[in-house]
Amino acid sequence: MAAKYQIKVFGKQGCDKCHTLNQRIDKLLAKDEYADFEKLYCDVETIDGIVAFSEAECINPSRIPAMLLTEWDMETDDFVPVCTREPGAEDPICMKSRLYQYVGLQTDYSGVGKGIISPKMIQSVLTEATV
């Protein structure tokens, strides 16, 4: 185990929004302050990717790309989802892109969300996982 936290990114080939989300996460993870994080890309059009997506149990399939924050658990010897401290709390940064039960984001394709997961939103959930 190299990292304390793992960001599971769910996407698919040929998806521009998936590509953009991966680039934004990679750019953040290149900074020293995010040394405790690693990224695992899960292509939902592969068997391994769809299994990881199914095991997440918290992301709407029509709201990909999405990301889920997980933390290393020594008891299970695996990464487990980080629970949201206040499920359903209003979030002025992440708005409706925020996952309900776990720390993470899924794309909000409504007129409000415009299908964008911004760097500020990503930073917000990374910070929440570590506090």
pLDDT tens, residue by residue, 16-70: 999 999 999 999 999 999 999 999 999 999 999 999 999 999 899 999 999 999 9
C-alpha to C-alpha distances, 75 to 11, 61, 71, 128, nearest whole angstrom = 29, 30, 12, 22
The boundaries of the domain holding residue 35 are 5-130
Residue 125 belongs to domain with CATH number: 3.40.30.10
- pTM, two decimals, is 0.93
Q: How many structural domains does the chain have?
A: 1
Q: 87 falls in which pLDDT band (50, 70, 90)?
A: confident
Contact indicator for 83, 66 with CB cutoff of 8 Å = no
